[in-house]
Chains A and B, each alone.
Chain A
């Protein structure tokens, strides 16, 4: 089996927003839509020990996605490899999935009148390529791969380092793992 997942190494992220730009370009998003913002906390600390924490966000491609259960038309769906995506033709734009997502990973595409989201660049991934945000990340802060493959980078990172997942208490079982660096945030 394949289970796609992502690791965010916040120790390496410098907050350059390249992933945001690459995603928007590749997916040809309208100007008001961002699938993967990079949040910045700080500067924190006291000079000279000052630092900033950057936290890239993205759809968590949860194992128990709230959005898929909320969808009244079956447009929101999850494939066997874990990728959660929206079938445009079936979406009526009721926004129930947007309201149900704790990660703000879903957005309204006002040009099409449908809910839209990151789909881990599934067309690229299934050709064996990386998602665009991962490919563009020159700091290698985003690591993508198959969690079920014991030799993949994501699998080795998740199984060897302490990682955290966002809002894990909501029982969505998110599949994006954060390696927390200095100062940390959760």
Chain B
């Protein structure tokens, strides 16, 4: 029988968590390196590492032979191997970066060293965010993924969900500064998230329209599923309305409750995006192929096994 989706929800969850953790780390380290606000985002670094770690767990869980996962580090040139190394190192560097802010370790006061670690962290997180999109877009067999626009979309989504999560975590332990400082960071992050969500809205609409008008019938078929087919409720309702338009409205409304709800919705939008994309793994079918797989007998598996 033909399998519908070789990669399913674990991969979608991983892509979401990888983008989220990477985006959180990028913004936290940017605020640290360029605006000297590292302490406000200390917890965000740890949560980002946990997100990436959970994503790696999903990746391993999805394997045919999970206990052999370490072999993924053994190839020389595969994108997946490169990505696996970056994920692993990012988790470690994030934890080290976090340790500077706790005051528990002998190196906690060394600000210069911390800045170096933050710089490395920024580079790695950028790599992770780019890689999640590049991994899918490198697959020539899947026309809906095989476009340079996919890494752009995933990067924007990673940054916008990262900004949302960072704003939820900013100023919590181990931060010990003033409430005014946290408020100013919140304002900056909300402004940034508004810009990123608007940009993501533009990119996602362009992406789907581009695919819908594509000369490739497979890509067109997947896009029409998003626009008016079986994915349209998730796309228009989940991703566009709940994940993008509603957060913009809430940000515009302002207030404390909106400041909490809008980032949560933006993060949910990120989940919808990854699931929609991962389940759009259409391959170009040969003439008569669909019919072939449909004609195969179904429901005889138990009999066949008993026969053997």
Chain A residues proximal to chain B, CB less than 8 Å = 31-32, 37-42, 53, 55, 57, 66, 69-75, 90-96, 98-104, 108-110, 112-115, 166-167, 170-172, 185
Contact = CB atoms under 8 A, between A and B. Distances in A.
Interface string B280-296: 01011011110111000
B180 interface: no
B141 A66 contact: yes
Given A104-B283, A115-B64, A95 B1 contact: no
B78 to A, nearest CB: 4
Contacts of B81: 72-73
B72 A108 contact: no
A172 B138 CA distance: 13
A122 to B, nearest CB: 22
Given A32-B301, A66-B141, A102 B79 contact: no
Contacts of B7: 95, 99
Contact of B71 (A32, A41, A90, A170): A90
Nearest to B141: A102
Contact of A167 (B77, B281, B284): B284
B258 interface: no
Interface in B214-248: none
15 contacts: A38-B292, A42-B288, A57-B286, A70-B78, A72-B71, A72-B75, A72-B84, A74-B74, A92-B64, A93-B68, A94-B62, A100-B138, A112-B65, A115-B64, A166-B286
Interface of B: 1-3, 6-7, 62-66, 68-69, 71-72, 74-81, 84, 138-142, 281, 283-284, 286-289, 291-293, 301, 304-305
A101 B286 CA distance: 13
Given A39-B289, A41-B288, A31 B63 contact: no
B140 A114 contact: no
A100 B139 contact: yes
Contact of A69 (B77, B84, B142, B301): B77
B69 A71 contact: no
Contacts of A166: 286
A184 B122 CA distance: 55
B84 A108 contact: no
Contacts of A31: 301, 304-305
A185 B6 CA distance: 28
A55 B288 contact: yes
A108 B6 contact: yes
Nearest to A115: B64
